[in-house]
Each structure stands twice: as C-alpha cells, then as structure tokens.
Amino acid sequence: MTDQPQAPAEKPSEQPSESFTPALGAEAVAAYLRDHPEFFAAHDELLLEMRIPHERGDAVSLVERQLKLLRERNIEMRHRLSQLMDVARDNDRLFEKTRRLILDLLDATSLEDVVISVEDSLRQEFQVPFVSLILFSDIATPVGRWVNSSEAQQAIGGLLSGGKTVSGILRDHELEFLFGEEQRKQVGSTAVVALSHQGLHGVLAIGSRDPQHYKSSVGTLFLSYIAEVLARIVPRFTTTLRPVR
C-alpha cells in the first residue's frame, strides 16, 4: 500500500488589517485650508458638492460666500477709511485755527492783546462756549484775571501738580474757581492745562455743556500747544509774576 501524499496544512486565513485614520475636526480642516488656499484650485470638482447654508435657508456656492465676505470686509474697510479721513480733516481745521491764534499772539503788543486774542479765538474760531484764562500772582494786574497763588493752589492744586492736560468732569469747587458760580452749573466737561514757564504760572481751561465732550482720553494736543506759546508770551508784558509754591 503506497503512501498517499499529504495535503499541506492550511494556514489560518489572514484578515486584512484595518488602517486607523484619526477623525479630523473642523478646526483641523479649517487650519489646513487656511495654510493651503490653492486647495480648491486643484480639486475644483469638490466645489460642485459643497453647499453653505444661507441666512434665508437657501444654498449658495463657496465662491458666492467668498464674494459676500470680501464685499462685507470691503465695506468695513471703507467705513474705517472714511472715519480716518474725517479725523484728518478735523485735525487740519484745528491746525489752521491754532496757527492763526499763535500768529495773533506773536503779533500782540500788550497783555490786553494777548488775553483778547486767546479768549476770542477759543470762543469764535474753536466754538468753545466756556473759556477761562487765569494767571497767578500775589500782585494784581488790571488786565485779565489774576488770583493769589496760594488761593489757586488750594482750589485747583490737584489739576496743576501733574503738569499735564487734564480732561473730564471736575468737582464743583474746581468748576466754580475756573468759570464762576453761574457758568459752573452749565459746564458738563472740561479740559484744563497749566501754564508754567520762567516764573509764569497760570491755567487755561475750556468747557463744554456735554459731559462726554471732554473725556479723560480726549486728545488735547492743540490745547497744549496754545498753552506753551501763551506761557512764553505773557512774561514779555509783565514782571509781577511769582511762581506757585
């Protein structure tokens, strides 16, 4: 009896291993597309399958959505540009008014000319309803408003100590010192700048009926310029000034 050849042993069937693909989140997809903006140019067939819900419940293509976003962004940028242009025009007007006032101050031949130029320009050119120019001295001068230096220090010393322009809502006693009892009730917000140069000390204040007009962050560059020039011109016409202590 001959031996029958044995069939080779069957190997256990191998199941194809399933490749593990991590799920991509929306943020990962968005980041990839942001880094590869040309993706849809090479896979434009996907655009036919994509739909983005519209506010009205309809569907618009990605290109339409992109155009809508670009259009909205363009409108926003135009609004910002318009606001910047408005600010630039306002600054141009303020610069021109400031230039005329400074020239008038340089042409002044008396202390009376200086006081009149400042008060008239701020009220008429700058359209400021409340203006106060006060100079500090222990000896009164017939031109303008002069107060004793210790009185000024007691009333508004807190506004003068920093050496910077202060703007916002002031306390009643500060408003009364600057603008008087009657006008104090009408002033909503104020910008105040100290005058200080070579023995001259004083204060220049402007006020508005609107409490929000002069905010704490309001730009006071032009007012500071006027105060600096004023502080250098006034001493030409008087020698009776003493510094605030």
* Domain locations along the chain: 81-237
What pLDDT was estimated at residue 67? 82
> Is residue 7's pLDDT more than 80?
no
Q: Measured in Å, how far apart are the chain's first and last C-alpha atoms?
A: 135
Average pLDDT over residues 112-129: 94
pLDDT in tens, 10-24: 545 455 444 445 567
What pLDDT was estimated at residue 245? 38
- φ, ψ for residue 126, nearest 5 deg: -85, -5
- φ, ψ for residue 199, nearest 5 deg: 95, -15
Q: What is the mean pLDDT of the chain?
A: 82
What pLDDT was estimated at residue 45? 67
Instruction: Give CA–CA dist 34/25, Å, rounded.
Output: 14
Question: pLDDT band at 187, cuts 50/70/90?
Answer: very high
In the CATH hierarchy, which fold is given to the domain comprising 81-237?
Beta-Lactamase (3.30.450)
Both tokens of 114, joined, read 């200086």
| Nearest of 166, 223, 165, 163 to residue 197 by alpha carbon | 163
Question: pLDDT band at 241, cuts 50/70/90?
Answer: very low
Average pLDDT over residues 136-140: 80
